[in-house]
Structure formats: C-alpha cells, structure tokens
Amino acid sequence: MTIEKKIKQLRDTIERHNRLYYVEDTPEITDAEYDRLFRELQALEAEHPALRSADSPTQRVGAAPLSEFGEVRHRTPMLSIANAFDEDDVRAFDKRMRETLDVPEIDYAAEPKFDGLAVSLAYRGGILVQGATRGDGTLGEDVTANLRTVRSIPLKLKSSDESLEVRGEVLMYRRDFEALNERQRQAGQKEYVNPRNAAAGAIRQLDSRITASRRLRFFAYALISDTEAKTHSQALDRLEKLGFPVCEERAVVAGVEGLLKYYARIGRRREKLPYAIDGVVYKVNRLDWQERIGFVSRAPRFALAHKYPAEEQTTQVLGIEVQVGRTGALTPVARLKPVFVGGVTVTNATLHNEGELRRKDVRIGDTVVVRRAGDVIPEVVSVRTEARPSNATIFEMPAKCPVCGSAVVKNEDEAVHRCSGGLYCPAQRKQAVLHFASRRAMNIEGLGERLVDQLVEKDIVHTPADLYKLGAKELEDLERMGEKSAANLVAELERSRETTLERLIYALGIRNVGETTARDLARHFGDLGPLEKAAEEELLRVPDVGPVVARSIRQFFDEPHNRQVIRELVTRGVRWPKVAPAPRPSTPAKTFVLTGTLSGMSREEARAAIEARGHKVAGSVSKKTDFVVAGEDAGAKLERARALGVTILQEKEFTKMLQNL
C-alpha cells in the first residue's frame, strides 16, 4: 500500500469514528485506540507534509492564536425568529399563514430550538472553506479555524462537487458541560453558567486549540440556496445524506393542532434530551410558500419559535437603579434579595423600561415573581400586591443621565428613555469609539475592541475626538501594541482625518441614521454646519427622513456635549470636502434593485451611479420597484421580480440606461 493510500485510509477511518462518537453516539473503539490511529496519521503527515490537506482530521486540533477575527458578510442574512409564549400566539401564527396562502391547512416542519450558537458553513467543491457566527445577522465573525475543531462538522462532504451553505447550531451536551465544569473546579477556575455560554465562548476563542479541547457538537438546521429540495424537511434529509448531523426529534406536522401536540411531546422529553433547548421552532414546510410569505424587518414571517415557560420564584425588591447601556438606553433594574432561579442565584432583574415598570406597578419593597426569560435573562414578571408593605416606594425615571448628566429623552414612538450624550457619555464611550472607527465610518484600521477597551478603561480616550491626540509612545505602553503597531495606528489616524461628509455623519452614531440616511443628509445639506442647525421641518425634506429620524437628529445636535465633541474633531484636524447638492431628476425618481454580480462595475459603484443621478436603490423587490438590474448568479430577487412583473435589466441595458437617466 502506498503512503498516499495509507493516509487516506487512516483519515477515512478516523472520520468514521468521529461520526460514530459525536453524531450517532455509538462508539466502536476506546479512546486509547482512537488516539493510536490519530498519532499514526499525525506521524505520516509530518513525514510527508505535501500530503497534508485542509480536510484531514489532524486539522481539528487547533492552531496558533489569532490576533482578531475577520469579518464575514452573509450572502443571505441570518435572521432571528419571532417568539411565541402561549397557545393563542401559535393559533394566530397559523391563521396568518393560512390567510396569506389562502389554503385550509398547512404542513409545518417542527424541530427543537437548540440553546447554542448559530453558525454558517460554506463549502466549495465539497470542502469546508469558511465558517462564521451570526453576528448582527448581516456581518459575522470568521471562526473557520475554530469550527474545524468541531468533530461533528464534516471537513469534506461525501459528494466532492458540492458547493453550498449550511446553517446550524454549535452546542455542548449536558454531560460534556458537567465534565468541563468539573475540570474547572479541580483547576480552581471559574465555572461556566450554562452549556450555551460555554459553547459560545469556545467558538469565539482566538486560540482554536482551546476550542478543540471542548467537546462541542453541531446540528444542521438549514440548507441555503438548494434547488433540489422542495420542502424544508427534504432539505434536512439531504443534509443528513451529505454527512451532517440533523436533529432526530424533527417532524412534519399538519395544522395548528399538530404544532401544539409536537410542542407538548417535546416538552415532556425536554429534560431527557442530551442537550438544552428553550423551545421548539415551526416553519412552513414548503419552500415556495416560504418565499411567498416573505420576511418582516429582521425575521421570517413563515417561522415561529414557541418558547417553554421559564422557571419562576418569588423574592423582594430591595431597590431600583438605572443602567445606561452602550446605545444610551436607560433600563430600570430591580436589586433583589438573592434567590435561586433556573440553576443560578439571581440578585438583579430587568424591568425593561418605564412602561413595563408602570404596567406591572413594581415598587421598592414589593414581593415579586422573578423568572429567567429564555432561561438566560432574569426579569420581574409580576407583583404580589397583597404582600405590599405600607412603605413601598414608587420609582421615578431620572431627567438627567446618571452617568454623564446629559438630558434624558423619550420619544413618543419608543418605550425606552435614552441618554442624549452619545459622543460624551462614559457608558456609551466604547460603543461610540468603536462605531466611529468602524470600516464604513472613519475606517481606522487596527482600532479594534480590545484596544478600545484599554483606551477607555485607562481613561485615555473620553470621546472619539481624543483619538486624534494619541501618540506612538502612549500607544506602545498598551498591551499587544509594539512599536510597529503603534506607528501603524498613528498613521491610520492621520489618514482618517481626511474623510467625506457622509462618512463623518455616519460615524457620529446618531440614532436611526444609517449609511444611506447619512448619504442623503450629506447630499441635501452639503456641509455639517447647516445640518447641525436644521429644524425638524427642514430635515423632513430629506428623502426617506421621517419624523422619528428627524427627531433623533435634532435631539443629538441639541445636546451641547455632542456639539463640543464635533468642535474638538475639527480642532484636531478632521476635515471633509463640501458636497454639491444632488441633482433633481428630470423624471420622477425611480427605484432600482441590484442582484447578482456585474462584470463592468461593483455593486457599490452601480449604487453610487444611480444615486448620483437622483434615483434610489432598494434592498428588496416589491411592487414599488421600477427596475431590477440582474448580473451573473442572480438569485431570489430575480425570481421575485419575474413574479411581480418588474422590469428586468441586463447589465448592457442598465449601462445604456445610466447614460440617459
């Protein structure tokens, strides 16, 4: 037998035993026998490095630590799912689905809702090439090296010509979690709160060797852009045939009664499952029906997560304080007499916002029912008013931020109070600086989360303007910042002083002002001065700026602390060219949607060309869309355009149209 064939045989044997142990839970050999096979493969690959490949089981052991994770943009957003907590919510969901589709009954795919970390896996030519976290749904973290260490994730598919994207959950079995905490106790180290935190923490380790030391599992729950499957259940069956672990508890059920029976059945088995779940997930089974039903905001309309009730206990409210979050939201928090709920001792519980606090009528001194919502976040559910003491105190929300003293604002359309000192408030400082430095804002490369943590915690940076006072010597004294790194960051800061108005507006972090709105504001006002002084009536004249956005902008510039930071930015050399007002189109503004890959220009260049002529670019196809520009590999947007009868432009037609717009 040749060395090449021997290596292949060992890889196949080891991966077979990985599958038997981690996927099928039916090991055939002892750990010692497995280790012998593994060491033999390692030795052969060391002797013949040219035969080592990315799909080898030896690549699951982890590699040297990374300095930071790369960024991954999901081709299809990883959306969250709306929650239901009672039978009425489920019946209302089924009614909406039937009415939308105009059918008497619907088949649903039902499966447990894993309590783990959602990830996306990309395969090219049957080989795992990239793994990413969900992140914010649009941008995730590149954790490929860590996911390679999860032995139930195939490094190589059974079919070598497969190119696909698989989504699923990384989690830790209860028994592996208990063993991990036992090791932590023996080592005198802090124990993990629950299996989800342990799994999520392992996947986000910069040192993949630590990830490899955890017994993590993976379950696939979605196959993206598959043309063969007609239903969600067929897609899961195909994933299983390709070698992915898929939950055995999945089922296809008919109608709302089928959903509720499935919920009850899994609920009875919940504590016996080897992994933690916090509910079940329902999805309309037919994929073409899913597409017809579509999405709302950041969630699919065709899916629902039906949560199980969380554990509840009673305790006493000792006080109510306000926490200021990284986005400026003020959250009233109940300080509780310690109580054991859902496996942990709880001393604080969220009251969410003033509206919830008033609705529940929570007062200092009350006896309250506390639960861990979603088995994670403690919250006050209700008050035992019959046990209320005579000296119970009503809590009032502060008029000034308890952290920075800026004005607290509350818009009529929002439930939360917010600190208006976004660029100044210490509670928002890290978030403000990170956003200011982000790629689509001032694009200050090298200014990552760990460095910002140090700059803020060491009291070096108070506002984004302080970044432009940093010197190389000051930076060199920080952890992981040598002479070269410090010099590079100083050069980046110098380069970023020259920016564009739209980038600067976006970098300020004004609530409800994203990149598109920042671009519209820059084109409308031409400079920051007029924008800073603009009344709400003038702001409403900007395309797509409504009352909520206009009010957010006005509140931001009304706060003196924010205006002071902007003045400091200018004093420290931040500059931008004035913008010529956008031309008014000779014809009514048209709405374009871009899909696929264009050969003559990037999507950003196409967007800029359309907007420069006074027209709009939307992210999804609707009846209001005028044109869909279809490049190579155009996907669901093209099909949607055909279904709605929207005019479709090939690249040549689009290029010609640009000349006449």
Positions marked active-site: 113
Q: C-alpha distances in angstroms, 493 versus 142, 333, 451, 453, 500?
A: 26, 39, 14, 17, 15
Q: Are 299 and 81 in contact (CB under 8 A)?
A: yes
Residue 587, classed as helix, strand or coil, is coil
Q: C-alpha distances in angstroms, 643 versus 7, 101, 495, 597, 633?
A: 52, 15, 48, 21, 18
CA dist., res. 349 & res. 320, Å (int): 10
Degrees, nearest 5: CA angle 248-249-254: 125
CA dist., res. 68 & res. 65, Å (int): 9
Q: Which residues contact 655 (CB under 8 A, 6 or more apart)?
A: 600
Q: Which of 46, 59, 49, 48 is nearest to 11 (CA)?
A: 59
Structure tokens at 298: 């950041």
Q: Are 246 and 240 in contact (CB under 8 A)?
A: yes
Residues in the chain: 661
Q: Are 330 and 401 in contact (CB under 8 A)?
A: yes
Residue linked to tokens 């956003």: 435
CA dist., res. 17 & res. 247, Å (int): 19
CA 251 to chain centre: 28
Structure tokens at 190: 């802090």
Q: How many CA atoms lie within 13 A of 218 on its CB side?
A: 28
Q: Are 604 and 610 in contact (CB under 8 A)?
A: no
Burial class (CB in 10 A: 0-12, 13-18, 19+), 316: middle
Structure tokens at 325: 């979050």
Q: C-alpha distances in angstroms, 433 versus 64, 438, 570?
A: 29, 9, 16
CA dist., res. 258 & res. 97, Å (int): 15
Residue linked to tokens 């700026």: 545
- What sign results for the dihedral spanned by CA atoms 474, 475, 480, 484? negative
Give the max Cα distance, the chain: 87
Q: Which residues contact 66 (CB under 8 A, 6 or more apart)?
A: 145, 206, 207, 208
H or E stretch including 133? Answer: strand 127-133
Task: Report the side by side order of strands in the sheet with 277-284.
Answer: 83-84, 303-307, 277-284, 107-114, 251-254
